[in-house]
Amino acid sequence: WPLPAACADGKEVLCSTVKRVAVRREVLAAVWKNTPYTMLELYLDAVKAANIPNSLIIALDEGTAIHMRARGVEHYARPLEARGGGKDNHATSGLKFKVLVDFLSIGCSVLLSDVDVLWLANPFAGGLYRDSDLEGMSDGWDHPTAFGHNAGGGSLRVHARNSGMFYVQATYEALGMMRRLARRMETESTWDQSAYNQEQFLPAQANHLAVGVTSRVMSYLCNLNSKTFFKMLRYDKELLHGYTPLSLHVNYHPEKYPRMVDVFAFYSRKVEGSEEKATGIWQWNGGEGSVLLTACKAIDQRTPPPSDEPLVARVLHSGVIGW
């Protein structure tokens, strides 16, 4: 494995890479393109700390491939350009389906991950069911939002499955889905996450044929999104200190890298910070922005600030602003 016939037509390098890296014909793969590599480096540090041996980076440009070689990180170079030449996160993210076609066609199953996902434990050691074509994390934060609930009027509502982290098995149905998504990314101006959810759930109709995949939603407490962590879990001391999740995806918040730094420090070195002093994982709002920034915005700048307010004192002591 992989079979020689599957490795023809330019897939020789991919086959040699997965033969060297894969465990049980499975890999953890993240897609990256362009500089800077700051978030990518943190992602790799977390993967290393979680002791995930079958991990690789899919380098979509030569610069990333060179950087991975210099660091000694397993990678597969697959230079690709997004539709219209776009280089933002959404444009690059849509390229992953084309790469996944390559992996699935040689019989390699993939746990696909964005680099704003922190891996905190090895997901292959008991974290996957492997009973469906597709297992994906949810943008939901509790049972109703993650698994579906009655939305009234005879309708069922399920929050989106996140296309930034999912496990796809090397089956004919999964391969068909990735091929369709790759084609849609090349021909349509659509968000990859919208298309990803549509192809899972939309039934066959008229001339539209369903891809026929079976899908499973991952546990929202084992594979956290950042809303679950920052708005709910960190306020539950028993949950916060009682277990280590498999992963945490900073998908809800724009301050991705600094939040990743604090979350990684908490789970890897037990550096929690202080809720009272707004440090560590407690310096961030449940929504957008930091606690300190919110406190600053609330200050009435027409009058002297209250000297007994710790956050105000920190700002004034820094010398950044004054009255």
pLDDT tens, N- to C-terminus, the chain (323 residues)? 899 999 988 999 999 999 999 999 999 999 999 999 999 999 999 999 999 999 999 999 999 999 999 999 999 999 998 766 555 555 677 899 999 999 999 999 999 999 999 999 999 999 999 999 999 999 999 999 999 999 999 999 999 999 999 999 999 999 999 999 999 999 999 999 999 999 999 999 999 899 999 999 999 999 999 999 999 999 999 999 999 999 999 999 999 999 999 999 999 999 999 999 999 999 999 999 999 888 777 767 777 767 677 777 777 777 765 55
pLDDT at residue 85 in the model? 58
pLDDT at residue 27 in the model? 99
- pTM summary value: 0.90
Annotated domain spans of the chain: 4-217, 290-323
H/E/C letters for each residue in the chain?
CCCHHHHCCCCHHHHHHHHHHCECCEEEEEEECCCCCHHHHHHHHHHHHCCCCCEEEEECCHHHHHHHHHHCCCEEECCCCCHHHCCCHHHHHCCHHHHHHHHHHCCCEEEEECCCEEECCCCCCCCCCCCCCEEEEECCCCHHHHHCEEEECCEEECCCEEEEEEEECCCHHHHHHHHHHHHHHHHCCCCHHHHHHHHHHCCCECCECCCCCCEEECCCCCEEEHHHHHHHHHHCHHHHHHCCCCEEECCCCCCHHHHHHHHHHHHHHCCCCCCCCCCHHHHECCCCCEHHHHHHHHCCCCCCCCCCCHHHHHHHHHCCCCC
**Rounded (5°) CA angle 107-112-115:** 150
pLDDT at residue 208 in the model? 87
pLDDT at residue 323 in the model? 56
pLDDT at residue 91 in the model? 61
pLDDT at residue 322 in the model? 57
pLDDT at residue 89 in the model? 59
pLDDT at residue 317 in the model? 76
May I ask the CATH class of domain 4-217?
Answer: alpha beta
Quote the CA–CA distance of 72 and 305 in Å, as a whole number. Answer: 53
Quote the CA–CA distance of 82 and 215 in Å, as a whole number. Answer: 27
pLDDT at residue 84 in the model? 61
